[in-house]
């Protein structure tokens, strides 16, 4: 399958593994890339330029296919060493960067001078248009269904994707609710050039997280996520658990007086205990509504092959029959 995304990134299938904190390590990124998708190392998970450089080298030893690095730009008091991280990416020969968070305009000249293609994560059409105007090569359009931070507009992909298709000239992928061949075909029909999947790749054998995390996703339904930090305008979709219920109770109690410190214990610094130690109730961790479509833990290669086979069967089977007037 050729789309503008496969052509832009030199990949076989229009499937991207999104950057995920304490998940996007070399073993998962390489597995996705070896299967024909685009694997992504999460830059801030590495923390320092030296560690990121080593992780890039480790990934390169595991695959000769294209892979990328995610850089999320955060408004923090102690900012990461972004110049150092960018230098590690350039020196490591990485040619694809997924940016997220704040506007990446300041770093685009450095990346693109090194021949790096940039795809920016956006939760609205206006943000996607801004990314296009500053020179991003592509965008990931994240609908309200997505895990992590869906923005504050609450627009689901059935509306957001065709709006993006009408407005954008650069290629874009659909993120949020993507899990199988049906998702891919639907995204393509709505104007996207591929899909970005986070939660679905979290539940794969190569994802370097505790089995209890994967089991929790398989057990979850589409009704088992919650939105926290709405009052702080930093909304995050997370899998429900007792810690999340505590956050929501605090938010209701504090109302408009809520400050981040009120919920910090359940939100900050919990990913190590969750992802590595399997303490899935330790705090709030990102998960998409797509958990309701996930009922197994395949390898990345098995998952991508399944998605592409399902998509082909839909396009050449059911849709072709409907187009020929033969019914489903």
pTM over 0.85: yes
Q: Is residue 157, in this structure, part of any structural domain at all?
A: yes
**Sign of the alpha-carbon dihedral angle for 18, 231, 293, 125:** negative
Domain span including residue 182: 4-208
User: CB of 191 within 8 A of CB of 198?
Assistant: no
Q: Quick one: 134 and 254 in the same domain?
A: no
Q: Quick one: 63 and 137 in the same domain?
A: yes
Q: Is residue 243, in this structure, part of any structural domain at all?
A: yes
Q: Is residue 293, in this structure, part of any structural domain at all?
A: no
Structure confidence at residue 159 as a pLDDT band (50, 70, 90) = very high
**pLDDT tens string 39-90:** 999 999 999 999 999 999 999 999 999 999 999 998 765 789 999 999 999 9
- Helix ranges (H only) for the chain are 4-9, 26-34, 43-46, 49-62, 82-91, 108-113, 125-134, 157-167, 181-189, 199-202, 211-219, 242-254, 264-267, 271, 300-313, 319-323
Distance CA 148, CA 22 (A): 13
Cα-Cα end-to-end distance for the chain: 23
**pLDDT tens string 246-299:** 999 999 999 999 999 999 999 999 999 999 999 999 999 999 999 999 999 999
Q: The CATH number of the domain where 84 resides is what?
A: 3.20.20.70
Distance CA 262, CA 148 (A): 20
Q: Quick one: 48 and 194 in the same domain?
A: yes
Q: Quick one: 164 and 247 in the same domain?
A: no
Number of structural domains found in the chain: 2
* Phi, psi at 228, each rounded to 5°: -115, 165
Q: Quick one: 93 and 232 in the same domain?
A: no
Distance CA 181, CA 187 (A): 10
């Amino acid at each position: 399958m050729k789309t503008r995304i496969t052509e832009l990134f030199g990949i076989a299938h229009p499937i991207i593994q999104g950057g995920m904190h304490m998940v996007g390590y070399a073993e998962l990124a390489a597995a996705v890339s070896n299967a024909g998708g685009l694997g992504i190392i999460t830059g801030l998970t590495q923390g320092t330029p030296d560690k990121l450089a080593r992780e890039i080298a480790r990934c390169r030893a595991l695959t000769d296919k294209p892979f990328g690095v995610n850089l999320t730009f955060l408004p923090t008091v102690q900012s990461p060493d972004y110049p150092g991280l960018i230098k590690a990416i350039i020196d490591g020969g990485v040619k694809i960067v997924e940016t997220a968070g704040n506007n990446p305009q300041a770093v685009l000249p450095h990346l693109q001078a090194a021949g790096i293609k940039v795809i920016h994560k956006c939760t609205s059409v206006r943000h996607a248009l801004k990314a296009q105007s500053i020179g991003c090569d592509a965008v990931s359009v994240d609908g309200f269904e997505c895990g992590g931070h869906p923005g504050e507009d609450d627009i689901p992909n059935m509306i957001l994707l065709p709006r993006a298709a009408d407005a954008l000239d650069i290629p874009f992928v659909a993120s949020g609710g993507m899990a199988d061949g049906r998702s891919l075909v639907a995204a393509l029909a709505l104007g996207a050039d591929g899909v970005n999947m986070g939660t679905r790749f979290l539940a794969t054998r190569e994802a370097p997280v505790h089995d209890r995390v994967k089991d929790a996703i398989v057990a979850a339904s589409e009704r088992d996520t919650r939105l926290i930090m709405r009052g702080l305008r930093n909304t995050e979709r997370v899998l429900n658990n007792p810690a999340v219920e505590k956050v929501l109770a605090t938010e209701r109690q504090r109302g408009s007086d809520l400050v981040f410190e009120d919920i910090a214990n359940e939100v900050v610094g919990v990913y190590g205990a969750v992802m590595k130690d399997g303490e899935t109730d330790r705090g709030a961790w990102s998960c998409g509504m797509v958990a309701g479509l996930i009922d197994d833990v395949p390898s990345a290669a098995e998952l991508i092959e399944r998605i592409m086979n399902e998509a082909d069967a839909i396009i050449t089977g059911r849709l072709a029959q409907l187009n020929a007037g033969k019914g489903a």
